Structure 1
Amino acid sequence: MTNSNNTNMDLWNSLSITDPKKVKPITGKSYKGSSPQPYWLVQRATETFGPCGQGWGIEIVQQGFQQCNAETMMHYATVRVWYMQEGKKCSVEHMGGTMAMYKTSTGKMIYDEDAPKKSVTDAMVKALSFIGFAGDIFSGIWDDWKYQEMAAAHYNEQKQQPSQNQNNQQNSRQSQQPNRNQNNQASGQQQKPLAQRYNDALLAIKDAKNPQTLDKAINTFKGTQYESGISKACRARADQMGWNEAPPINQVQQQNQMQH
C-alpha cells in the first residue's frame, strides 16, 4: 500500500480503499478478522473494467471434494479472474475452500449444500485482492480504526461528487477557458480533474511521512467541496502518527508576519 508514485501501483491504489459499510466480520472460522462483501467487489470490478463477461469475468479452473476423514469432507475450487486492461486480457488465479461435511463439537453432523458456491466465491475474492481490490483489508491496515475513519470520509465525499462536479463544471467552464493553455503549460497536475486530484491526495495522506504533506493537502482543497473529507483524512493520519494537527501554511505565514 506504499509507493503511491509508482505507476505499477496505479490500478492497485485506485481499488485498495474499501467502503466500511461493505465490510463484514469473518464468521465460522478459527480466526477473526474482516472481509469485503463479495457482491460489492463484483460491482467494483464492473465499475473498473466494464460489465462482467465483457470487461472482466471468472472461470472455474478446477473444483472437487476432498475426504479428510470419515466425518469431514472439504470442497475446493481454483478460480481464474480475468480482466481487460489497455486492450490486453490479464488474469489471476487463486484457490478457495469450504467444509462441505463435518461434525460439530456437540456431535451433530453438518452438510453444507452451498459449499461449492462458497468455495468459488472465496477464490474469486482472493484473486481480486491480488489486483488490489480491498487491499487495505488484506494488507492488514484495516485493523486501525483511524484508517477506517479515513476510508469512510473517502466514500462519503464520493457520494457527493456527481452533482457537485456537474455544478462546478457548468459554473467554471467559461472562466477557465481563457487560461486553459496557460494552465496546461504551467502544471501537469492542474490538468487533472479536481475529483482525481482529491483521490490522489487521499492516497498521499494515507502514506504521509511528515505533517507538511497534510498541510499541503488542507491548503490545496480549502474552500472546495472536498475540504471536509480532506480535513477528516488529515486528522485521522495525524492521530495515527501521533502528530499534533498543524495549522494551514498560510496561517503560519500570517503569524510570522505579525511577529516581524
Structure 2
Amino acid sequence: MKTIFQLLKPQLLLLSALIAALISSCKTDELKYEDEPGIYIDKEKFIGIRDSATFSFAEKTSTLLLDTIYIPVKISGRASAKDRPVPLKTDPLLTTASAGIHYEIPETKIMANQITARVPVIVKRAADLKTKQLRIYLKMETNAEFPFLIGNTKTNSTFSGEPSSIYTSGYLIKLNDQLLKPDTWDVSGSWFRFFFGTYSAVKYKFIMDVTGRMVWGPGARFGADSPTSAQMYAYYAKLQNAMYEYEKANGPMIDETGNQVTFPKI
C-alpha cells in the first residue's frame, strides 16, 4: 500500500521544478535589470508636495530676471566608468511654457562613478507671467546610456510592509509672476498655517510687506530658504503689532473674500 507521500511524489517533484524555474527566471530578470540601466526623478529629495511645485517671481526681488530650480535624478543599476547625459525633457502635450522664453534645461550628466545628479531648470521672468500661470512638465526619456524606461517610483519608507507613497514619473513646475497661494501653505507641519492661519492674498501681501521676506521655502519651515523658528516667532509678533496699528487707523482689514484678516493665537 502506497503512502500519501508516494502518491503525491510526482506532483511534489513538478512543484519543485516549477519553483526552481521561477527562481532562475527572477535571477535572470535581476541581471537584465542591471544590464539595462534607467534613470528617474528622485522625489525622495523633494520636501512637501513631491509631484509638483509652484515658482512665483512675485515672491522674489523685482530685479531678479532668472532663477534656477534643481531637479534631483538617480539611476537604477550600477555606476559607470564614463559620464552619461541625463535625458530630462519636457512633455510637449502637458507643457504650456515656451523653451527659450520661459525656461531652459542645460545639458547635465551623471558623472563617472556616480549614481545621482541635479539637473538645473533655468526659469525666466517673461512679461506674460504677470497674467498667466504656465506649466513646465518634466519627464525622463530613454537614450543610449539609459534604455530602461522607469514608471512610477515608490518611497523608501514603508507602512505595514507596503510603500508609504508612490510617486508619478513626471514633475510639474507651475510658473508665474503673481502673488498666489504657496503650494505648501496647508501641508502637514507647515509654519504658514501654524503662524499665519487661513490663507488669503490680502493677508499674504500684508505678511510680506511687514516682514520684508519674499522667499519662505516649503511650508515656511523646510529647506535652506526657510526661516528659523525664532524668526517665525519674531515675524508673528511684528505682524500682530502691525495689525493692531492698522486696525486702530483703518478698522478691520478685509480680504478678497470679504472676510476679516486675522492671525491665530499661539
Q: TM above 0.5, one fold? A: no
**What's the TM-score, normalizing by structure 2?**
0.30
**What's the TM-score, normalizing by structure 1?**
0.31
Structure whose residues are more often helix by fraction: 1
Answer 1 or 2: higher relative contact order, Cα 8 Å, separation at least 6. Answer: 2
